[in-house]
Structures are given as structure tokens and as C-alpha cells.
Chains A and B, each alone.
Chain A
Amino acid sequence: MEHVAVLPKMSRARAERETARRRALDKRMTAEAAVQMIKDGDHVAIGGTLYSRTPMALVFALLAQRRRHLTVSRPLACYEIELFASTGALDRIVSSWVGIGLPWGLPPIFRHYTERGEVAYDEWSHLAMGLRYKAGAMGVPFLPTLTMLGSDLAVRLDLQTVTCPYTGERLAAVPALNPDVALIHAHRADMFGNVQVDGYQHMDVDMARAARTVIVSAEQIVSPEQIAARPDQTMLPHFTVDAVVAAPHGAYPHECYGRYGPDLQHFDAYAAAAKEHGPAAGLRYVQENADPGFASFLAQAGPDRLAALAADAQELMPR
């Protein structure tokens, strides 16, 4: 691996991939064990988007570790960003949007840290986020696109352009993003890390293929035969995955397509506390909900609440 350090960035990402093959072994472990792969200063990409299929069991396990100097990237970031900031874990956000949604107003803890310059926010367009992961996943250093041009976003990020060698047209050159770790929540996985998802995929496939280390939590651990029975549903093959964590309701209080809807009342309570107490509310939320472990968090929500959210999701499924 010694030669790797002197290679240009893209070749380095490739060389790391070549030398760090994942063996076809049983990769099951607890969330607590899996997040030990994440170090201070790492770039952690969080799968799903906003309050959909967020790998919350993994996020909570990571929050409980109180890592420092993390960069967190996500297509649209929800309030987990505020939790990382409130516990002093966060240096930088790479995203296109931060908040819960219109009814909850501007996110106060996000404002607290970004307005003081204590947390940096690299604001890319939503497509640019997708193309950055995609370039990383494709093994190329950038992708050309016709978005972001002419904007102050491009100026602020020092976004470069490239001239098409065939037509002479000018395009934005969006740089590859290769996160150190990607956290993904899925519907089903086998012990080797073959991963299946129902519904929309967000940016999870490109995010995972771009990342150096991939931790997957799943609603259900299924047999390899069950995966092979529907190979068209497989989103990631086993050799892209490092760890598999069994996590039923692992996206709660966010939604998981077809399984359960979002817990909007939970968001209301969080947003009200954040508005009143700022970062102290974020820290308290982590202490009360993440530190005791995800099983205890689900027990607090209670089986009735979880059943009602499952019924919400069922009502919206195609039939």
C-alpha cells in the first residue's frame, strides 16, 4: 500500500479499492461494533435522504461514540446533522439542503453553528451531490454537467468548467466524492452483504460504491437463497459491503418505504425543543435517545406507535 500515498487522488481511490477486497464471509455484527470502523476526521456519507430510509440505528450508534472532526455528506440532510453538531462531532456538512421540512421552519441548531462559522457547509446543488457520488462510484475524477453554472454556489465552491473536446461546449466539472464510510439502511440483506431495497433508491448505490467502507443495516437479514430468488431487487452486491447489521425499524423515526411512515410527532417535539434550547436540546436528545442504545429508543416509542406507523405505510402501498 506504500505506493498508494503518492498517486493522484482518483488513482489512489482505485488502488485502495483494489488492495482492500472484501471477502465473502459472514459480515454480520452489531451497530456498535460496525461504527468502530469510523475514525475521528472521517468523511461519513449517510444514505437515504431527508427523513426517508435514514440509517438511524447506525447514526445513533455513531453519535454515541462522540467522534470528532467528522465531515458528513447527504443529498438532503435532516436533523441528524444538528445532532452531530450539538455533540461536537461535526466540522463540515456537504449537502444541498438542511432541515426537516417546511412545517418545522428553519433548523435552529444548524443556524447556530453555520452562522458562527463553527461548522462549514459546502452547499452543492442536489444533482451535483448525485454526480459527485456517481463520479466516485464510476472511478473517474469528475463528471461534466450543465447545472450550477453562473451561480454563486459555483463561485463559492470554486467549481471549475471543462470544454468538450468534440464540440467545444463548456460544462461544469463536478468533482468525485469518495467518502471514507457510507451508512446505508436497506429492507433486506444476507449475511454476505447482498442488499435489496424496495421503492426509491435515493443516491444509495452510487454513495456506497464510491465509499471506502460500507456499513449496511437492514430491516431483515434473509438467506442467500431469498436474495437469489429476486436478483433484480439487489441494489448492492456483497463485494461492495463491509458490515451487515440487523436493524428492524432501523430508520425510525424516519420512514422506510412500504414498512413504516415517518413519526411526525417525534419531529414536532424535537423541533420545539431545538427552537427553545438550541444546541443544548440536540445534546440532550442524543443523551436520552442515542446513548442508551437503539433497542431502548424503540422501546420508548412503544409497539403501538410503531404499529400505527406501519399501518400508515401500508395504506400508501400500490395494490
Chain B
Amino acid sequence: MSDVTAEELMAITASRLLADHKVVFAGVGMPLLASGLARHRHAPHLTIVLEGGIIGTSLRPGKLPISTNEMRAAYGAQMLTDITDIFLYAQRGFFDYGFLGAAQVDMYGNINTSVIGTMEHPRVRLPGTGGANDIISLCNEVLIVTQHEPRRFVERVDFVTSPGYLSGGDSRVRAGLINGRLGAVVTDLALLDFEPASRRMRLCGLQPGVTVAQVREQTGFDLLLADDINELTPPSAEEIAEYRELRDGPVLETL
């Protein structure tokens, strides 16, 4: 257990949230790895969709795509369509989960992947939303997975690229975002959700050995606490081995 990396811990925790027979709209990197791991373990009928127009991809261990629009992403797919079409499936309500990372996320789950600083005076102009804005606006339930550090968990994001619960309460629905809800936020320290009335981020589970104080220290805003905060089940040896094989390829037996 002690040699599990933050990335592995997050991906394994996130993979457990994906149920069998569902459809997940995943991005490359950790969301894709977590989705692949879920398929290998408890959710063999989980369908992975990628924005390149790819439905039902099967991941080849150690040969994961770098982009959601390339041949490795299409490996073993059940259907290839165009990009716009994929997002229209999401708008229709076919995609149970949307799965996102975040450069910056705030207490209402708003995500910034556009700019650090202001658009008028950018400190860093980031690549942009890609499909993230659409995924958070249109998928039925959105999962966010990101490393837990104060520079990522900020009180207000510099720019709302992908709207979460906006300013809380019913502000998301009032803005016209009638679809989708934010489910969990998975980090290397904790599992969080959004309190149903205020829609503020709430701590509901701790990664093994982590304290509430540690999570608060790494969060740049005042975190709500659930009534019952559980310690999450540590990754099993099998989960870790399967995750590593998926990411790095089969382990070669050495004689």
C-alpha cells in the first residue's frame, strides 16, 4: 500500500464509482484509466465513449491513447461516428457519467481550463475547454478527479470554463443548465460531493490515513463536512496490479 502513488489512488477510487451497464464519457489520462479499470473489474458492461466519435472502445494495456481522436482510442470500438454526433448523444441523455480532470475547481464545482489571471491580462493562457464544458453541461452525472492542493481548490475560479453549480443553490438551473448534476470529486486525499441545498463542496470520505485537518489545509476554501465521514477502503493488491498493467502493459516474467 505504501508505494501507491497519488495518481493510482485517485484512479482506483474513481473506478469504484462507475457501475456496470452504464455509459461513461471519458477524457484521456486518469478518467480513461479509471474507466478501463472499472471494466476490467466490477463493470465489464461499462461502455466507454470518447469525444473523437468513438463508442465502446477497448483499451489495450500499455497502449492507451494520448488523444481522444486517434486510432488507439478507436481500438476495438463498436461504433465510429463524428464529434458533433457524440455530444448530441450526451445532450439527449444517453451518457450516465461525464468524467473530467480540473486545473482549477471551486467550492461550487466550477472548473477553469482557460486562463490563469484574467482574459485581459492572462498570466497563462491555457489550451481551452475542449469538450469539458459540454460534458459538464450535458452528461447525467459528472465526476471530477484531480490532485488535492490549494492552488487547484480555490474559492473562486479565475474563469468559469465549465459550469458546475455556478454560485450555488439553484443558480445552475436558472442559467438554463437543466441537464446533469455534479456527483463526486475524487482526490488523492478525499472523496467529496455537493451539499444538496447550498451546492457547496462537502467532504464525505477520507483516503486511508488522511485527516480532516489535512484535507482542510489543502483546500483553498471553507469545506462543508458530511455528518458521517468514512475512511475509504484502501486499494487492494489486485486493483493496483490491474491498474498498473492497464497503464504500463503486461508485466514481463523474468526468469
Contact = CB atoms under 8 A, between A and B. Distances in A.
Contact of B128 (A52, A97, A261, A316): A97
Contacts, number: 175
Interface stretch (A9-17, A31-39, A119-127, A281-289): A119-127
A151 B76 CA distance: 35
A202 interface: yes
Contacts of A150: 160, 163, 166, 171-172, 175-177
A145 B91 contact: yes
Given A101-B67, A123-B129, A200 B74 contact: yes
Interface residues of A, number: 62
Residue among A149, A161, A257, A262 with the most chain B CB within 10 A?
A149
Nearest to B180: A146
B20 to A, nearest CB: 25
Interface residues of B, number: 53
B210 interface: no
Say whether chain B's binding surface is mostly helix, strand, loop, or mixed. Answer: loop
A200 B114 contact: no
Say whether chain A's binding surface is mostly helix, strand, loop, or mixed. Answer: mixed
B176 A161 contact: yes
Contacts of B76: 318
Given A125-B131, A146-B91, A150-B177, A102 B29 contact: yes
B74 A149 contact: no
B138 interface: yes
A276 interface: no
Interface string B160-201: 111100100001100111110000000000000000000000
Nearest to A313: B71
Interface of A: 49-52, 75-76, 95-99, 101-103, 106-107, 110-111, 114-115, 121, 123, 125-128, 130-131, 133-134, 145-153, 156, 161, 169-172, 199-206, 255, 257-258, 261-262, 264, 313, 316, 318
> Which 7 pairs show the lowest CB-CB distances between chains A and B?
A130-B84, A150-B175, A127-B87, A97-B130, A125-B133, A149-B176, A126-B131
Interface of B: 28-29, 51-54, 66-67, 69-72, 74-76, 80-84, 87-88, 90-91, 114, 119, 122, 124-134, 137-138, 159-163, 166, 171-172, 175-179
